[in-house]
Amino acid sequence: MEKIHSTTILAVHHNGSVAIGGDGQATLGNTIAKSNVKKIRKLQDGKVLTGFAGSTADAFTLLDRFDEKLNAYGGNMKRAAIELAKDWRMDRYLRRLEAMLICCNKDEILMLSGTGDVIEPDHHVAAIGSGAMYAQAAALALVKHAPQLSAEEIVRESLNIAADICIYTNHNLVVEKIG
């Protein structure tokens, strides 16, 4: 089976608001399998935004578990993320899942991985996926040199820059914001 490459997800907390966005491309080998995958989800009535990279089925399983954890811990995103990461690492079924998540609310951004990582990024910018480093570099530059832009504008422009460079990222963007 060909390895699936896909996605760039970027979250930015800037000027009192947070935005997260992702492209819509999924590839199978050197072929575009789908160009309009929606990789951004709202949880907790839009108070928590998430994005995923990796296997879609695995990511949906993790998002369901994350939503359960959010409900169990009264919407406390950091606590829910830590509990999910512990389960993800220790559970025999979950540890086989191949995906990464970015979760954000009005106050913080977290990156979660199957190795038990819950990372609160420096500079309020987080990126995952094939084009992550391109989008993150663009976002950091825009935060520093174009501080008048909104978080949503920074995410959109950074993802477009990543799509111009990364063959696994397209310009079919979904961007959501809080604040």
Question: Do β-strands 118-119 and 109-112 pair in parallel, antiparallel, or remain unpaired?
Answer: antiparallel
- Say how far apart CA 138 and CA 23 lie, in whole Å: 15
Contact yes or no for 156/125 (Cβ under 8 A): no
Active site residue 7: yes
Q: Give the active site residue among 7, 8, 50, 169.
A: 7
Q: Where are the alpha helices (DSSP H) in the chain?
A: 56-72, 77-90, 132-145, 151-165
Q: What is the DSSP letter of 139?
A: H
Residue among 59, 55, 54 at smallest CA distance from 88? 59
Q: Which residue numbers are catalytic?
A: 7
